[in-house]
Amino acid sequence: MTPLSFDVGAAEAGMRLDRFLSLHHPDLSRARWQQLIADRLVSLNGAPTKPGAPLKPGDVIAARVPPPVEATPRPEAVDLDILYEDDDYVIVNKPAGMVVHHGAGHDSGTLVNALLHHCGNLSNVGGVMRPGIVHRLDKDTSGVMAATKNDLAHRFLAEQFAAHTIERAYEAIVWGVFSFSTGTVEGLIGRDPRNRLRMTGRTTSGRRAVTHYKVTAATRHFSRVECRLETGRTHQIRVHMAESHHPVVGDPLYGKGRSIPASLLPELREALAAFNRQALHARVLGFTTRAGKTIRVEAEPPVDMQRLWQLIAEQDR
């Protein structure tokens, strides 16, 4: 077990123990800390305690964190929309709602489970939990995604991602009308200290992120945008669009607070209220193989996004 120790400062007086631990050691979730406290692996001033114990300046917290136990993903017969496949790569059109790899609360039905069933073997560079996975899409983002079948292919593709030579284009439906039809959003993106599930561009300690956008269609209230990634940070497009005052429609993390205008047609208002995921789709993926072949795969947005834009366009007829 890994021993950890923390001292409580004056600024943290009154803070709950579980919140303190999740802030000072964010590699573990708050729920995980609560379980460790319940398992008597955390002590406050030498004694077991509860997750909600209020802290005082000078308190000493000791914890023992057991090593993670990784469960090997199992092959599962899950339908895949395969767009391209060879001896090194398999490229799929991931549906919205599918988790890419195992994580908290997701130990089956993932893309990895489906790929293991389809391919048999995947690269091991990413670790036991993420075989074949070089890049990922959020659960509720649909679109083109590549996986690798062997370690050489994995490393070759990963090098292209690191060098920013991968072609990646996304389609998004966002709120509002842009002042300029093309532009670039650039800055740092890092974890939001107030909400560990969110990322933010309002940071001085994040990683450089660059998104190039082009408006492909617009109405009085919405825009359809092509976003091309120069970098690939977590939630990059969602953060950049939201912090440009054009959050992605349906985004549960970055689009809250947007009220649906009463002037919209009833059918469109109902569709917007029912659209319960970010309207974001990875449309294009292009890269070079080890043999020097250029692969470029494109997939149209899913029916739910196409239908939503159709209703938006009908609003202005």
Tens of pLDDT, residue by residue over 245-281, are: 999 999 999 998 788 999 999 999 999 999 999 999 9
**CA–CA dist 119, 285 (Å, integer):** 20
Is residue 303 within a helix (H) or strand (E), and if so which, with residue range? helix 303-315
**Residue-level pLDDT at 258:** 83
Phi/psi class of residue 298: alpha, beta or left (left: φ > 0; alpha: ψ in -120 to 50)?
beta
196 pLDDT tier (thresholds 50, 70, 90):
confident
* pTM for the whole structure: 0.78
Place of tokens 């092509």: 226
Tens of pLDDT, residue by residue over 43-90, are: 999 999 999 999 999 999 999 998 765 567 899 999 999 999 999 999
Q: Which residues are catalytic?
A: 138
Place of tokens 């692996």: 41
104 pLDDT tier (thresholds 50, 70, 90):
low
Tens of pLDDT, residue by residue over 241-255, are: 999 999 999 999 999
Q: How far is CA 300 from the centre of its chain?
A: 20
Residue 314: helix, strand or coil by DSSP? helix
Span between the terminal Cα atoms of the chain, in Å: 65
Residue 145: helix, strand or coil by DSSP? strand
197 pLDDT tier (thresholds 50, 70, 90):
confident
Question: Could you give the percent of the chain with pLDDT greater than 70?
Answer: 97
219 pLDDT tier (thresholds 50, 70, 90):
very high
Q: Confirm if 143 and 299 have CB atoms less than 8 A apart.
A: yes
Question: What's the token pair of residue 299?
Answer: 């997939």
Q: Confirm if 21 and 6 have CB atoms less than 8 A apart.
A: yes
**CA–CA dist 172, 138 (Å, integer):** 14
User: 251: Cβ–Cβ under 8 A, 6 or more apart, which residues?
Assistant: 238, 242, 278, 279, 280
Q: Confirm if 235 and 228 have CB atoms less than 8 A apart.
A: no
Query: What angle do helix axes 17-24 and 30-38 make, rounded to 10 degrees?
Result: 130
Can you tell me the mean pLDDT for 140-150? 97
Strands 142-148 and 280-288: parallel
**Residue 188: half-sphere exposure toward Cβ, Cα within 13 Å:** 9
**Which DSSP state fits 141?**
-
